[in-house]
Amino acid sequence: MPVGLKCPGNQYGIFQKSLISLNRSSTIKSPELVFSSTIHEQLTKLKTSRISSFVSNSFSFILSSSGEDRLASTSPSGSPSPSRNECSITPLTPSPSPRTEVRPCVARPFSVVVAIDFGTTSSGYAFSFTEDPETIHMMRRWEDGDPGVTNQKSPTCLLLTPDLRFHSFGFAARDSYHDLDPEEARHWLYFDKFKMKIHSTSDLTMETELESVSGRRVRAIEVFAYALRFFREHALKEVKDQSSSVLEGNEVRWVITVPAVWRQPAKQFMREAAYLAGLVTPDSPEQLLIALEPEAASIYCRKLRLHQVIDLSQRPVINGLDVDGSRPFDSSFRQGDRYIVADCGGGTVDLTVHQIEQPQGTLKELYKASGGPYGAVGVDLAFEAMLCQIFGADFIESFKAKRPAAWVDLTIAFEARKRTAAPGRANSLNISLPFSFIDFYKRHQGQSVETAMRKSNMNFIKWSSQGMLRLSAEAMNELFQPTINNIIKHVENLMQKEEVKDVRFLFLVGGFAESPMLQRAAQNALGRNCRIIIPHDVGLTILKGAVLFGLDPTVVRVRRCPLTYSVGVLNRFVEGRHPRDKLLIKDGREWCTDILDRFVSVDQSVALGEVVRRSYTPARMGQRKIIINIYCSDTDDITYITDPEVRKCGAITLDLLESGAVAASAGDNDKGPAFERREIRTTMQFGDTEIKVTAVDVATGRLVWASIDFLSN
């Protein structure tokens, strides 16, 4: 029985509550949804122990309360003490080779799949009924929105009341915040583009906080849970409107997209937020899938036809072939085709390399997912840096704190103009400065905005008497280039890898891929090496692919491990081979501590359902708990957990029966060999976006609880 299918109680059940209306300020527009009890209050009631389940993409287990502290190991006087004493197990056979087998994946039937594309800049949902998988229903069009922008998604922004209650999300949140009195707005909490915080935080925990535009802080898990709960309510209402039958909660499979370059704590964080939002409960973790964004896009792109894409390549074609002999994108992909998908989103750029396998049409990952924080937000940050250069960084920070709603207005104005930027554009782009910006600057700096512009000596930015910044084509190009150059450089480096050299197709997807600036740069820099393909519905590619993934999670048959994963173990100390500072004496025996025992290596191919079995035994007699610390590294050239490239990323806790019970069941004698050779057999299943684990106490045949937590300090 997989460990993740059962947990001790459902502490998250309290989060699924009915909706009631909230008395609102007269200056606030009515939100579409207001939740009864705040997630802040619910989180505050929780104790430090919490239930967590499968984590996406690499290592994922279930979290349970340990019940007792770790059994500390001590060294006798005179024995060198290692820098860390975190190893309490030893392999039954030193450095075992993993035995693998492939298990068939059994999918649980669901009536409907609902996917949520939780983006940095914009978010949305889509769904499909399993009886009609060819039809993907997109979310209803949102009211309001920006002029000239197709509102197929909602801005990823959220508004909380001063007492931390949900008020609104998306356009409603943005407009409501805009209508607040400046003094009142300082007490409300408005969050925008907050997804990037999860990517950039190296020590992410359940207590990590987000700072609102007004400077107030709240736990990040609360903000994400409110946003997911908002989409849950909207999606379920729309599904029920289109369903001929009454759907139960367990008939819905949820899919949430995350960047492939996110590390394990961030992926676990999204699952925790989904539990908190009431999408699913920890009792049914299989109801929620974590989809990797470029992978979802790839699943959708592999089915595209010629009339559904734009081929940016303009090279001459002779007899159906390019002059260099490569095949253009003619009608659709063929078996064996290999391609790169570059998901260019608001916060990150993710790249994946896939091959379509024969004859079943499944996908095989050829190189580990890669990318970085090179999304469209980089252009926004460049614009803010330009404002700081003109008006002073201190003033911009003060303006953001004192006039937060006006700052949001300014960013919205820039976003609208940013979308119209094109490489061939000759005329300037006008960006309206809010009146409060002009007034605030004059009162606090003692001079006009026009004077500041003149003193800045930035010739490619002018001031219009109508209260606008006029950005020349050169200025807009300066704002785009750093981010675009990072994307191009990353793709070029990827194409140098041996596994990727012969790939002839590059799909640009994601919201930033709509930018003509990025499209032209990609074609100029990469067009000689591959065909640049852009789907017509480029901004919805990931969302539609996530629905397809939820309908058939087995479509990606082989993945590459993004990191090397190991556990810390003790091995018998060998004089001359092991350093003396790793010597640890337990029960009169000499051990070498801090040794890494690998599960999988970086960039190793793992098939869907692939299983690795390992056996461990306690390093000390009478041990009632085994702590298996998990470590990861970007390289495979590692030996000890203290190596500089190694970092601890989680821990599995194995609770054992009392030693007397085992001795009675296994036979006991004066030397206690039964307990010394006690075997804990772990089974880890790889190849999916989430790894599953079970552990069996062989001496008793009892399934042992395995727990892991990537979010604890």
Query: Measured between alpha carbons, how far is 185 from 190 in angstroms, rounded to an integer?
Result: 9
How confident is the model at residue 293, as a pLDDT? 94
Over residues 610-614, mean pLDDT: 82
Q: Which residue has the higher pLDDT, 632 or 694?
A: 632
Tokens of 406: 């006006």
Contact 134, 6 (CB under 8 A): no
Contact 276, 206 (CB under 8 A): no
Alpha helices in 469-515 (DSSP H): 473-495
Q: Is the pLDDT of residue 520 over 90?
A: yes
How confident is the model at residue 93, as a pLDDT? 55
Contact 424, 458 (CB under 8 A): no
Helix, coil or strand: residue 406: helix
- Give the residue carrying structure tokens 């801090």: 594
How confident is the model at residue 665, as a pLDDT? 47
How confident is the model at residue 330, as a pLDDT? 54
CATH class of the domain at 563-661+675-707: mainly beta
Helix, coil or strand: residue 475: helix
Query: Measured between alpha carbons, how far is 634 from 613 in angstroms, rounded to an integer?
Result: 23
Q: CA geometry: angle at 601 spanning 596 and 604, to 5°?
A: 165
How confident is the model at residue 141, as a pLDDT? 65
Closest listed residue to residue 101, CA positions, set 598, 679, 681, 613 = 613
Q: Is the pLDDT of residue 212 over 70?
A: yes
How confident is the model at residue 51, as a pLDDT? 37
Contact 582, 82 (CB under 8 A): yes
Closest listed residue to residue 173, CA positions, set 227, 237, 119 = 227
- Give the residue carrying structure tokens 């997630």: 39
Contact 113, 127 (CB under 8 A): yes
Q: 251-265, 374-388, 520-534, 674-688: which range is least confident on average?
A: 674-688
How confident is the model at residue 297, as a pLDDT? 95
Query: Measured between alpha carbons, how far is 390 from 464 in angstroms, rounded to an integer?
Result: 15
Q: Which residue has the higher pLDDT, 464 or 339?
A: 339
Over residues 7-13, mean pLDDT: 32
How confident is the model at residue 315, as a pLDDT? 44
Q: Is the pLDDT of residue 323 over 90?
A: no
Contact 704, 654 (CB under 8 A): yes
Q: Compute how many other C-beta atoms are within 10 angstroms of the C-beta atom of residue 41.
A: 13
- Give the residue carrying structure tokens 């939780």: 118
Q: Is the pLDDT of residue 626 over 60?
A: yes
Tell me the C-alpha to C-alpha distance, in Å, between residue 133 and each of 37, 114, 248, 362. Answer: 36, 12, 19, 17
Closest listed residue to residue 701, CA positions, set 685, 683, 669, 679 = 679
Confidence of residue 73 (pLDDT cuts 50, 70, 90): very low
3-state secondary structure 357-402: CCCCCCEEEEEEEEEECCCCHHHHHHHHHHHHHHHCHHHHHHHHHH
Query: Measured between alpha carbons, how far is 87 from 522 in angstroms, rounded to an integer?
Result: 49
pLDDT in tens, 11-65: 333 223 322 222 333 334 433 444 545 677 667 655 443 433 333 333 322 222 2
Query: Measured between alpha carbons, how far is 276 from 295 in angstroms, rounded to an integer?
Result: 26
Query: Measured between alpha carbons, how far is 34 from 21 in angstroms, rounded to an integer?
Result: 6
How confident is the model at residue 203, as a pLDDT? 85
Query: Measured between alpha carbons, how far is 289 from 593 in angstroms, rounded to an integer?
Result: 37
% the chain with pLDDT above 90: 40
Q: How does 573-601 read in b/e, with b if 16+ C-beta sit within 10 Å?
A: beeeebeeebbbbbeeeebbbbbbbbbbe
Q: Which residue has the higher pLDDT, 75 or 324?
A: 324
Query: Measured between alpha carbons, how far is 219 from 201 in angstroms, rounded to an integer?
Result: 13
How confident is the model at residue 631, as a pLDDT? 87
- Give the residue carrying structure tokens 């950039």: 200
Tokens of 343: 């998901």
Q: Compute how many other C-beta atoms are within 10 angstroms of the C-beta atom of residue 150.
A: 12
Q: Compute how many other C-beta atoms are within 10 angstroms of the C-beta atom of residue 246.
A: 7
Contact 294, 231 (CB under 8 A): no
Q: 61-65, 75-79, 254-258, 459-463: which range is least confident on average?
A: 61-65
Query: Measured between alpha carbons, how far is 251 from 367 in angstroms, rounded to an integer?
Result: 35
Q: Is the pLDDT of residue 80 over 80?
A: no
Query: Measured between alpha carbons, how far is 208 from 710 in angstroms, rounded to an integer?
Result: 13
Query: Measured between alpha carbons, how far is 380 from 699 in angstroms, rounded to an integer?
Result: 60
Alpha helices in 74-181 (DSSP H): 171-179
What 8-state DSSP symbol labels residue 152?
A: S
Question: Which residues sit opposite 292 in a β-bridge?
Answer: 258
What 8-state DSSP symbol labels residue 663?
A: H
Over residues 485-491, mean pLDDT: 96
Q: 145-149, 443-447, 498-502, 529-533: which range is least confident on average?
A: 145-149
Q: Is the pLDDT of residue 291 over 60?
A: yes
Over residues 524-532, mean pLDDT: 90
Q: Compute how many other C-beta atoms are within 10 angstroms of the C-beta atom of residue 676.
A: 13
Query: Measured between alpha carbons, how far is 575 from 436 in angstroms, rounded to an integer?
Result: 74
pLDDT in tens, 167-188: 999 999 999 998 888 888 889 9
Over residues 507-533, mean pLDDT: 93
Contact 346, 512 (CB under 8 A): yes
Q: Is the pLDDT of residue 685 over 70?
A: yes
Over residues 338-366, mean pLDDT: 91
Confidence of residue 328 (pLDDT cuts 50, 70, 90): low
Q: Is the pLDDT of residue 569 over 70?
A: yes
Q: Is the pLDDT of residue 478 over 70?
A: yes
Q: Is the pLDDT of residue 324 over 50?
A: no
Backbone angles phi, psi at 457, to 5 degrees: 60, 30
Query: Measured between alpha carbons, how far is 712 from 697 in angstroms, rounded to an integer?
Result: 26
Q: Which residue has the higher pLDDT, 644 or 323?
A: 644
Tokens of 678: 């006690």
Query: Measured between alpha carbons, how far is 43 from 380 in angstroms, rounded to an integer?
Result: 33
Over residues 60-77, mean pLDDT: 27
* Mean of the per-residue pLDDT values of the chain: 78
How confident is the model at residue 658, as a pLDDT? 55
Most confident range, picked from 32-46, 300-314, 426-440, 683-697: 426-440
Query: Measured between alpha carbons, how far is 80 from 77 in angstroms, rounded to an integer?
Result: 8
Contact 689, 257 (CB under 8 A): no
Q: Is the pLDDT of residue 69 over 90?
A: no
Query: Measured between alpha carbons, how far is 285 from 269 in angstroms, rounded to an integer?
Result: 14
- How many distinct helices (H) and strands (E) make up the chain? 17, 36
Q: Please report which helix (H) or strand (E) contains residue 405, including its range.
A: helix 404-418
Query: Measured between alpha carbons, how far is 474 from 712 in angstroms, rounded to an integer?
Result: 47
Confidence of residue 366 (pLDDT cuts 50, 70, 90): very high
How confident is the model at residue 666, as a pLDDT? 43
- Give the residue carrying structure tokens 């782009």: 429
Q: Which long-range contacts (CB under 8 A, 24 or more apart) does 213-216 make?
A: 213/177, 213/400, 213/404, 213/405, 213/407, 213/408, 214/185, 214/186, 214/187, 214/188, 214/189, 214/190, 214/401, 214/404, 215/186, 215/401, 215/404, 216/187, 216/189
Give helix 449-456 / helix 377-391 axis angle, nearest 10°: 100
Confidence of residue 524 (pLDDT cuts 50, 70, 90): very high
Over residues 297-319, mean pLDDT: 75
How confident is the model at residue 108, as a pLDDT? 55
% the chain with pLDDT above 70: 76
Can you say whether residue 576 is alpha, beta or left, with left for phi > 0 and alpha for psi between -120 and 50 degrees?
Answer: left
Radius of gyration of the chain from its Cα atoms, rounded to whole angstroms: 28
Over residues 203-215, mean pLDDT: 91
Tokens of 310: 């734009």
